[in-house]
Amino acid sequence: MTSTTSFTSPASVVVFTTPTPVIEHDAELATHDYRRQLQHEISQDLKTLSKVNTVKGLLAVCADWAVISVAIYLAISIPHPLVCLVAMTAIATRQHALLIIMHDASHFRLVSTKTVNDIISNCMLAYPMLIRTDSYRRNHLAHHRHTNTDDDPDWVRKSGHSEWEFPKTRGELLAMLTRDLLGGGFISSLRAVHSLGAKRDSQRGTIDRGMLAFWGIIGGALLVTGTWTYAFLLWFIPAWTILPVILRTRSIAEHFGLANTHELNASRNYHCNWIETAIFAPHNVSYHLDHHLFPSVPFYNLPQLHSRLMEQKLYAEHSHQSDGLFGMRRASVEQDVSPMANAQA
């Protein structure tokens, strides 16, 4: 068990826990089963909000791929560095958006039929990013069951690494994200691909035939048409440079710089402006606390779930809500993870 560090800013006291949570909290709050009580209070709404709407999910997938297609078309049609940069950025944001929907599919929230859910998720969301839906599911469900503990694979993977220790100064945060942008996130991307792209059943081997067939077809088409250089520039380069910046920012926003003493402050919601939403928080992923409480609710129903939860005094008083990602004059994620910069302002 490791120690807990408190840092006092002009606005509040922020408690940082690294790497495992230490509960130093009022006994009543520490033992309170918030999730169960909230589930009881909104049980009827929860049943309605948990229903899968296949049309909404697939329309979101198609919309993301449409943006990617337009960006690729413009980058090829208008061979200008600025156009290419804008296209690469747009593609990276939609790669992230596809991963968010794949995350929903890992909870079987894309299509009601589980087999069809995974086929569509793999072919349209996971395989293009060189990962597998079921491999991601194993990791992610363990994260849900054991959030921010030694049994949480996400938490363990980041524990002991200085880059995931907070608080940090604003300069340290910027340097870390710049390193990712310049290719430093490439190694972490490879590790993620390896851990989430392989099977765990030794009798069936580690190579997924579906992914092999998928990339065999795509790779063959790229070679025959002579467009593999475009694929490398417009698909893989954004995935190895811009996407890691987005993923790190979102990961920090979801579980770091938090008191982590009970289930309503072990993750947060961060209510973004439209620019932050377009880049870092597509498909309502910023309602992360609400998703942890009730993962049965698909992404398109999270705003309604949040509105219903805010009507509950228990949730309204004890949940961690941030007013966006960046901003030192409001209750943003940046204030939580970089209070030193806030104190100096």
Instruction: State the pLDDT confidence band at 2, using cuts at 50, 70 and 90.
Output: very low
* Burial label, 103 (beta-carbon count in 10 A; 0-12, 13-18, 19+): buried
CB 260 within 8 A of CB 17: yes
Reduced 3-state DSSP string for 50-105: CCCCHHHHHHHHHHHHHHHHHHHHHHHHCCCHHHHHHHHHHHHHHHHHHHHHHHHH
Tokens of 67: 């943006």
Instruction: State the pLDDT confidence band at 161, using cuts at 50, 70 and 90.
Output: confident
pTM comes to: 0.86
Say yes or no to pLDDT of 13 above 60.
no
Report how far residue 211's alpha carbon sits from residue 294's, in angstroms, rounded to the nearest whole number: 31
pLDDT at 330: 81
Percent of the chain at pLDDT > 90 equals 72
Residue showing tokens 């990791």: 139
Question: Which parts of 193-341 are beta strand (E)?
Answer: 269-270, 321-322
How many of the other CB atoms lie within 10 Å of CB of 262?
A: 19
Report how far residue 287's alpha carbon sits from residue 214's, in angstroms, rounded to the nearest whole number: 33
Q: In this predicted structure, which of 65-69, 186-190, 244-248, 269-273 has the lowest mean pLDDT?
A: 186-190
DSSP 8-state class, residue 301: G
pLDDT tens across 223-271, in order?
999 999 999 999 999 999 999 999 999 999 999 999 989 999 999 999 9
Tokens of 49: 């909000």
User: What distance separates the 2 farthest-apart alpha carbons in the chain?
Assistant: 66
Residue 189 is inside which H or E element, if any?
Answer: helix 185-197
Report how far residue 338's alpha carbon sits from residue 174's, in angstroms, rounded to the nearest whole number: 11
For 64, what's the count of Cα atoms within 13 Å in the CB-facing half-sphere? 24
